[in-house]
Amino acid sequence: MSEKLWIFDTTLRDGEQVPGCQLNTQEKIVVAKALEELGVDIIEAGFPISSPGDFNSVLEISKAVSNPIICALSRAVEKDIEVAAQSLKFAKKGRIHTGIGVSPYHIQYKLRSTPEDIIARGVAAVKFAKRFVDDVEFYAEDAGRAESDFLNKIIEEVIKAGATVVNIPDTTGYCLPEQYGAIIASLKNNVPNIDKAIIATHCHNDLGMATANTVAGVQQGARQVEVTINGIGERAGNTSMEEVVMAIKCHKSIEVHTEIVTPKIYNTSRLVSKLMNMPVQPNKAIVGRNAFAHSSGIHQDGVLKHRENYEIIDPIDVGVAESTIVLTARSGRAALKHHLDALGVELEGDALREVYEEFLILADNKRDIGRKDLLGLVGKYVEESNFIELGKVTYSSNGAIEAKVSLKIGDQEHTSTAHGNGPVDAVLKAIEKSAKPAVELEEFLIQAITHGSDDVAKVHMRLIKGDKPYYGFASHTDIVLASAQAFVDALNKIPVKEYATA
């Protein structure tokens, strides 16, 4: 029977240390509630001594959620621990997370201390924290570079003092997986009272090995993993929660299980990304927009025949509606037919072969092939091409910002006006008035692709309709116009049969 692996989420503490990604208390509560629904066991809600805002966030999160343990960070300093305890006074289940540096670097250069003093300070901190809460976690900062005998000794002593969890951080992301796994194994084999506490991993991603090191730690006996949504965190980030959870779910040989409700992973990822204004890289494992996208003809053909040919995870398991077959010059005939079928255009034999040859010529010269392009290719095989065309776009500001947009939808002309917080917002609202697409704008990115006062901006949008993603792209010197073009480009990729019911 598998053992439980405790999921300790530090998105709101370590993850929030990313420059420019700080959240206010209300936003933190929104994330905390999402983490509770996701099924995390422990939420590290903040570092209360660091600021009044952090103190208040821990206090309010403690009121807002019921199931997870709420954890507050402190240094091995009595004042820190007292303030942490005060911030947890409303927590249904509270934990104080205290600790100290244990590597030669930290002992000598950061703390200007001795190994004996470090042990004494660690033990004293745990004993002091036990006055306030039963659940005390001790972190051995920079354990990844600590001397093995010293690490074993301090862990033994803090467990004697009452630590219920011992956190073994690879603070600098230095370790290789076999090295980190060996550290956990050494604790299991050489600390006589290790069975009295849970071993926790806390790995940073400086060398890109945070997930690998965490899994190696679990394989050697760690039963708590400290992670963040999307792998956000200091410098190159922390261990990604979604990567560890899905790696364990895929590999049944690792005999542990989590309480994570995996179909909620994707939406939680998007929530954190949106609130922190930190886009998820397209090729990010599990939650990146390309994680279940296929553009190679060989891969597309294999996935369309049997998903598991190229996907080890069912997209639905992480909350993604389905895989995406992206049309590029490397796409095969099967992918083209898949998209044509979605448009309601059924071609076979010579007709399909002819359209495919024309498609390859077009794809060699155009990066993004959309619905309008496909309808153009098959125009002689269909009676009607009912797509949206963007006409004149104007906007002005006389106290309030107003936009006016002309559209051609099928054979009908539409003109709409709308007000917004800015010109882009107003223009998109005007388009929505006419097109009525019933979509959610989930991602909106602007990138300069030239330099100077006449920069050309490239706009990328991701729309969601019925849990399915649709992408729009455009470039222009006018950001407002580029945004309108990208929005319409995405709308044009919605299949006719779905758009008709929008």
**Interatomic CA distance for residues 425 and 484, integer angstroms:** 10
CB 187 within 8 A of CB 198: no
CA-closest candidate to residue 485, choices 437, 424, 434: 424
Question: Which is nearest to 341 in space by CA: 367, 366, 371, 321?
Answer: 371
Compute the half-sphere exposure of residue 417: CA atoms within 13 Å on the CB side of its CA.
Answer: 7
467: left (phi over 0), alpha (psi -120 to 50) or beta: left
Among 217, 215, 216, 221, smallest CA distance to 241 is for 215
Q: Using alpha carbons only, how large is the chain's radius of gyration in Å?
A: 27
Buried b (16+ CB within 10 A) or exposed e, 341-369: ebbebebeeeebeebbeebeeebeeeebb
Return the SS3 of 238. strand
CA 500 to chain centre: 33
Helix residue ranges per DSSP H, 393-478: 423-435
- pLDDT tens for each residue of 233-242: 999 999 999 9
Compute, in degrees rounded to 10, the torsion defined by CA atoms 476, 480, 483, 487: -130
Q: Residue for token digits 């951080």?
A: 169
What integer pLDDT is reported at residue 499 of this predicted model?
52
Say if CB 72 and CB 113 are below 8 A apart: no
Which residues are 166's β-sheet partners?
Answer: 138, 199
> How many other CB atoms sit within 10 Å of the CB of residue 2?
11
Two tokens at 64?
């807002």
In this prediction, residue 449 has a pLDDT band, given cuts at 50, 70 and 90, of: low
DSSP letters spanning 9-58: E-TTTTGGGSTT----HHHHHHHHHHHHHHT-SEEEEE-GGG-HHHHHHH
Within 130-264, residue ranges assigned H as helices are 148-161, 177-190, 210-219, 241-250
pLDDT of residue 455: 66
Q: Give the CA distances from residue 293 to residues 297, 329, 426, 486, in Å, rounded to whole numbers and listed in that order.
A: 12, 15, 32, 20
Predicted local distance difference test score (pLDDT) of residue 451:
58
Residue in the structure block whose two tokens are 């470090």: 118
% residues pLDDT > 90 (the chain): 66
- Better-scored residue on pLDDT, 438 or 455: 438
Q: Are 64 and 111 spatial neighbours (Cβ–Cβ below 8 Å)?
A: no
At 44-97, the pLDDT tens digits run 999 999 999 999 999 999 999 999 999 999 999 999 999 999 999 999 999 999
Question: Computed from CA positions of residues 308, 311, 317, 323, in that sequence, does the dihedral angle turn out positive or negative?
Answer: negative
User: What is the average pLDDT value for the chain, to the nearest integer?
Assistant: 91
- Give 307-336 pLDDT, tens digit per residue: 899 999 999 999 998 888 888 888 889 999
Percent helix, strand, coil in the chain (nearest 5)?
45, 25, 35
CB contact at 8 A, 145 and 108: no
pLDDT of 295 strictly over 90? no
Could you tell me if 148 and 183 are in contact, meaning their C-beta atoms sit under 8 angstroms apart? yes
Q: What is the DSSP string of 405-420?
A: EEEEETTEEEEEEEEE
CA distance 251 to 443: 32
Helix (H) or strand (E) holding 299: helix 297-305
What is the pLDDT at residue 491?
A: 86
DSSP-derived pairing of the beta strands 400-409 and 412-420? antiparallel
Closest CA to 163 of 183, 140, 137: 137
Q: Which range scores top for mean pLDDT: 252-266, 363-377, 464-478?
A: 252-266
Helix axes 52-64, 78-87, angle to 10 degrees: 40
Residue 215 tokens read as 């899994």
Q: Summarize pLDDT for 375-394 with one digit per residue, the tens.
A: 778 876 755 444 788 999 99
Phi, psi angle pair for 385, to nearest 5°: -115, 95
**Which has the closest alpha carbon to 172: 151, 198, 203, 130?**
203
Cα–Cα distance measured from residue 402 to residue 396, given in angstroms and rounded to the nearest whole number: 6
Q: Is the pLDDT of residue 368 over 80?
A: no
Burial string for 121-154 (b: 16+ CB within 10 Å, else e) reads bbbbbbebbbebbebbbbbbbbbbbbeeebbbbb
